[in-house]
Structure 1
């Protein structure tokens, strides 16, 4: 009988409160993003420098695409 009363005597310390689904979903997304970032930069001493270099390279490629599409700065064919 003592076993049943230990469950009902109001020991709220053992109760684990689970967060609502939206909060839980947000926490899981944050944890996944953190793991992905750690995996991406594994073995890299300076991740900020890698990120700056990648952005600079993307901008350079974007400018090259824009100049080639507009026809400026490239070779021109002349017939005649």
Structure 2
């Protein structure tokens, strides 16, 4: 007949030690970041290509904004 309670001399090795609060917070933060990355990349075959395309669009938009602010671009000529 086996003993099922650790206080009665059963399996003491089965007890689970919980990590301290700092370790637990770090683990939860890592898990949250992992979930966010998975959610962001859901349905995307090549996430690197999507990231490159997004950065290129931002760069083009920046250049367009700086060109329009500095007075560059097209000018009217009457001739």
Q: Same fold (TM over 0.5)?
A: yes
1:13 alignment counterpart:
13
**Structure 1: 5+ residue stretches without partners:** none
| Distance across 2 between alignment mates of 1:18 and 1:75 | 70
Counterparts in 2 of 1:74 and 1:25: CA distance versus 1, 3 Å? farther
> In proportion to residue count, which structure has more helix?
1
**Structure 2: 5+ residue stretches without partners:** none
1:54 alignment counterpart:
54
* Structure 1 consecutive aligned stretches of length 4 or more whose deviation exceeds 6 Å: none
How far the C-alpha of 1:38 sits from its partner, in A, is 0.8
How far the C-alpha of 1:32 sits from its partner, in A, is 0.8
How far the C-alpha of 1:12 sits from its partner, in A, is 3.9
Tell me the TM-score normalised to structure 1 length.
0.73
C-alpha distance after superposition, 1:13-55 (max 9, x if no partner): 1221212211111111111111111111111111110011011
Tell me the TM-score normalised to structure 2 length.
0.74
**RCO greater where, 1 or 2, for CA within 8 Å and sep 6 or more?**
2
Counterparts in 2 of 1:46 and 1:15: CA distance versus 1, 3 Å? same
Total equivalences in the alignment: 75
1:69 aligns with 2:69: yes
